[in-house]
Structure 1
Amino acid sequence: MPSKITPWILAARPKTLGAAIAPVLVGTVVGATLGGKFCVWLMLATLGSCICLQIATNLFNDAVDAMKGSDTKERLGPVRITASGMMSARTVMLVAAGVLVLATLLAVPLIIYRGWPIIAIGIPSLWFCYGYTGGPVPLAYRGLGELFVVLFFGLVAVTGSAFVQSGQWHVEALVAGLQVGMLSTVLIAINNFRDVDEDTKTGKRTLAVRFGKTFARREIDALFTGVLLLGLSWLFAIWPGGMRYPQACVLPGFCLFLMQAIRRDIQAEPSEALNRTLAKAGAVLVLFSILFSIGFWFGYPVSAVRMVAP
């Protein structure tokens, strides 16, 4: 059995699942804090659905890249099960579709309690799991991968998770969503920087391919800088209701040492060593989300939050 399960674990890319968990955590804390109540079942349904969307995206990416010839023997990243011949593209695509069905089923409680906005968020999310690398306008092949991640794994996921908890849309969730989205995008930017030579040969027009390695390094620097600058708003801005959240700025500051390590790593030429850098970027995303959530929670009177069922 382990030999049969292992390829699917590889294809699901467990190290990337932080990009699905982080926005749900942050959005849930923002929504529960501002809405005054927290529902664990809605959070679990949101988390399960988002994780399924991430896994489906990874599976479609595995199959589509192999069919297009983008994953070659020169690949520096982890093994892909379609390109390596462990699974056929058809099988991987079918499993990806099945995971999308599961994501939809997990979203049913969200639709019941929060209505049409969940459908409005869900339909494009389902499509772009495939459309990220497949379809008539594959985002990853047009240099639009970073924009997709900022929007869907940042703004949409965080604001949507906050809406699920509170039934309202919050400007605080927009700012937090941008921060999470930028950190998630760092993962894509490092991945594209690592694969820039292979992608150039195979015609995958990522931003790193279009504008070069120096641009790719500056892009990662800019994303980290943007996260830090947005963080200052939690320290200095006065939010609706007269609230301030200084801890939401200060606590995530502990991520700085990992950010600096990543900046040093990307000064070298692309190599397999960047796989470790990707792991560091994933750690930054998860650590930031945990520290931000703790800081935001305690930026508001704790007594105002009560545990209730919907």
Structure 2
Amino acid sequence: MSENVKPNSLQAWILAARPKTLTAASIPVMIGCALAEAHGHFHAIPAVLCFLFAFLMQIDANFINDLYDFLKGSDREDRLGPERACAQGWISPKEMKRGILLTTILAGASGLGLLFYSGWEMIPVGIACIIFAYLYTKLAYQGWGDLLVLVFFGFVPVGCTYYVMAHTWNLPVTIASLASGLVIDTLLMINNFRDREQDKISGKRTLVVRFGAKAGLIIYFFLGFTACWLCFYFLGQGKLYASLLPQIYLLLHILTTARMARIGKGKALNVILGETSRNMFLFGILLSIGLVL
């Protein structure tokens, strides 16, 4: 593939943005919008701005991760995941830095638009998103990746999407935020499970590196299982479908976990990466539909 990509071309930037990862950015915003609709607070314009901010921040984080791993020398020939733009020579480090700056500015601009619908209290949240987009890769090397996913793919996007429309926060938002963060963390876990040997060489202390492949497989399963279990909270809110529909995801999650265990290691685990992305997107859709019904 790298031979067919022209340096600094549009195709190169699209590949560097990793469009498949935008699933993870869309799920929490979608759930936040569904909660707002369920409580009679949904508004289209702030919803669009929330999606835009989430997408731009995800792309920004992808660019930063691409550059950081290249400069650190982590993208070696034994890399098992998708090819990286800087490592493949598609985008030079200098141009990537410019791309990061531009994406950060665009994300900030979309975030400022949300102030018209919420308040100045959202500024620290936006600043924190930008700061941790820059710090994420470095912190992930110290084993903080899973916690950051829970915060920035759970509580921040679900809760803040709801907040800019409803101007409040409640327990259903907290439960949905936690479920969102847990299910999206399965994507990080399969990445870390696949890359455990390379991460160990690179000095990246993920949970899988620290506790082993078996622990990573168990954690992967229980992340999805716990997210589904949390959805039963909505029975007490009179949301039967929000409790039952996400359980469809659990069946697929079990099958994917079993397949992940059979494969065990190597590039073949990229199939599990694709299934995990599909499964968690289905979870987001099913929970959102259930909340609205």
The interval holding the TM-score normalised by the smaller chain is over 0.9
Match for residue 12 of structure 1? 17
CA displacement at 1:116 relative to structure 2:
2.1
DSSP 3-state at the match of 2:81: coil
DSSP 3-state at the match of 1:101: helix
DSSP 3-state at the match of 2:193: helix
- AA matched with 1:274: L
User: Does the 8 Å contact 2:80/2:195 carry over to 1?
Assistant: yes
Match for residue 191 of structure 1? 191
Q: Does 1:257 align with 2:261?
A: no
CA displacement at 1:266 relative to structure 2:
2.1
Match for residue 305 of structure 1? none
Identity fraction in percent: 35
Distance 1:295 1:71 in 2: 41
- AA matched with 2:114: L
Match for residue 238 of structure 2? 244
Distance 2:206 2:92 in 1: 26
Could you report, residue by residue, the CA deviation over 1:24-53 in whole angstroms, capped at 9, with x for unpaired residues? 01001102321x232111100110011000
Match for residue 97 of structure 1? 101
Distance 1:8 1:265 in 2: 33
Match for residue 278 of structure 1? 273
CA displacement at 1:269 relative to structure 2:
2.1
CA displacement at 1:234 relative to structure 2:
1.6
CA displacement at 1:2 relative to structure 2:
7.7
- AA matched with 2:110: L
- AA matched with 1:156: V
Match for residue 182 of structure 1? 182
Match of 1:55 among 52, 55, 59: 59
Match of 1:78 among 77, 82, 87: 82
CA displacement at 1:96 relative to structure 2:
1.5
- AA matched with 1:284: N
Distance 2:210 2:69 in 1: 18
User: Does the 8 Å contact 2:234/2:242 carry over to 1?
Assistant: yes
Provide closer, same or farther for how the CA distance between residues 2 and 198 of structure 1 changes in structure 2, counting only shifts above 3 A. closer
- AA matched with 1:116: W
User: Does the 8 Å contact 1:31/1:164 carry over to 2?
Assistant: no
Match for residue 32 of structure 1? 37
Q: Which moved more, 1:111-120 or 1:185-194?
A: 111-120
Match for residue 266 of structure 1? 260
DSSP 3-state at the match of 1:256: helix
Match for residue 307 of structure 1? none
Q: What is the total number of aligned residue pairs between the two structures? A: 287
Could you report, residue by residue, the CA deviation over 1:234-280 in whole angstroms, capped at 9, with x for unpaired residues? 22x3xxxxx32111011112212320222112213221121121111
Distance 1:273 1:116 in 2: 47
TM-score by length of 2: 0.94
Contiguous gaps of at least 5 residues in structure 1: 238-242, 299-310
Alignment of 1:204-223 (within 5 A): 204-223=204-223
Distance 1:153 1:167 in 2: 20
Distance 1:90 1:260 in 2: 44
- AA matched with 2:21: T
Contiguous gaps of at least 5 residues in structure 2: none
Distance 1:155 1:56 in 2: 19
DSSP 3-state at the match of 1:38: coil
- AA matched with 1:47: F
- AA matched with 1:290: I
Q: Which structure ranks higher in relative contact order (CA pairs < 8 Å, sequence separation ≥ 6)? A: 1
Distance 1:2 1:273 in 2: 24
CA displacement at 1:89 relative to structure 2:
1.9
Higher helix share: 2
Distance 2:209 2:75 in 1: 15
